[in-house]
Structure 1
Amino acid sequence: MVSEGAHPDIVTYKILLDGKVNDAWDLLCSLPLRGVKPNVITHNIMIGGLCKKGSLSKADMLFRKMGEDGIAPDDCTYNILIRAHLRGGELTTSAELIEEMKSCGFSADASTVKMVMDMLSSRELDKSFLNMLS
């Protein structure tokens, strides 16, 4: 691509990150060297990919690194991680993320609320968990 004179921008890299999670970590780390500054959307794609792959510890690490790098997470970031930790049965981590999300002024999105409702109806969660979302 570059050899043919086309210089990828952040949108191009987002597409690549979304499609190739295994190679995406190296690509994400190389973006600054290519003159492209990763942003919250780039990180959300990477975090989502890591969560889908089951690499929650890496997703959590990237989430914390965002803050260190001055990239503020958004509501999407929190909801991706909350759903992943709920799916993984990590209720304490999910609850901590919900509290942190609320303290930042964000709220659960429809997918997260639906997941909590489904887990409540199947008795995987206690009703007190629902109160945290409001």
Structure 2
Amino acid sequence: MTFRTFNTLLRGIFAENKVKDAVELFKKLVRDKICEPDEFMCAIVMNGLSKRGHTQKASSLLRLMEQGSSKPDLFIYNSVIDALCEDGNLDAAINILNEIKQKDIYPDIVTYNSIIDGLCKLGLWEKIETLFSEMVNLNMYPDVCTFTILTDGLCKEGKVEDAGEVMEHMVEKGVEPNVITYNVIMDGYCLRGQLDRARRIVDILIDKGIEPDSGAGK
């Protein structure tokens, strides 16, 4: 069998949520020296574990890869960082971020968005400001996903006015809000009973030619 065959098989097993079977197959490939996993195969396993909540197994595999010949790339690090953030383990996620920078692996917007999302959920706004400073130093500017994450975090804390300012700032910087961003701010207004403002957002969507989805205006 070729690498491609095993990779397809691993993807299929993960797609059926048979995580244990996928891990056993991967271990067998390594243990019996059937093939030496390359970065692509490791990425399939890492992503499969991370997306299904097996963060500890993914973290262990990451450390194993770091000791082997197939070193983890940014995609693999991002998978683990995102899983750690989903688990609320922000300290571990930030530690990995600092580690990869020391290895001259440059984080991208996906890396920062995962950590910013995790920090927003915990209301750690000072740490978010620190990350923004890091991004500026790396000549990296927040994208629509970053701004939407911030808007959502602020709205969930009842800081809808601050969320509105974030949206205004993103427009000033030439980043156009998408329907998800508008839905987030509308939800924020609705939670505060400001239905007139929520309806005005719907009008803005229509004026911009953006079709409101099923969540808009609720």
Q: TM-score range by the shorter chain?
A: 0.7 to 0.9
Q: Please report how far the alpha carbon of residue 126 of structure 1 lies from its aligned counterpart in structure 2 after TM superposition.
A: 6.5
Q: Of 90, 93, 110, which aligns to 1:41? A: 110
Partner of 2:70: 6
What is the TM-score when the length of structure 1 is the normalising length? 0.82
Question: Whose relative contact order is higher, 1 or 2, with alpha carbons under 8 Å and at least 6 apart?
Answer: 1
Indicate if the aligned counterparts of 1:10 and 1:36 stay in contact, CA closer than 8 A. Answer: yes
| Deviations 1:53-80, CA, capped at 9 Å, x for gaps | 3323312331243123311111111111
Q: How far apart, CA to CA, are the structure 2 residues paired with 1:123 and 1:54?
A: 19
Partner of 1:62: 131
Runs of 5+ unmatched residues, structure 1:
none
- Residue identity matched to 1:55: L
- Residue identity matched to 2:112: H
Partner of 1:23: 92
Size of the alignment, in residue pairs? 133
Q: Please report how far the alpha carbon of residue 12 of structure 1 lies from its aligned counterpart in structure 2 after TM superposition.
A: 0.7
- Residue identity matched to 1:10: L
Q: How far apart, CA to CA, are the structure 2 residues paired with 1:22 and 1:111?
A: 28
Indicate if the aligned counterparts of 1:78 and 1:97 stay in contact, CA closer than 8 A. Answer: yes
Partner of 1:78: 147
Partner of 2:189: 120
| Deviations 1:78-108, CA, capped at 9 Å, x for gaps | 1111110111122342122111100122232
What is the TM-score when the length of structure 2 is the normalising length? 0.54
RMSD: 2.3
Q: Please report how far the alpha carbon of residue 128 of structure 1 lies from its aligned counterpart in structure 2 after TM superposition.
A: 4.5
Larger C-alpha radius of gyration, 1 or 2?
A: 2
Runs of 5+ unmatched residues, structure 2:
1-64, 85-89, 205-218
Partner of 2:163: 94
Give identity over the alignment, percent.
Answer: 26
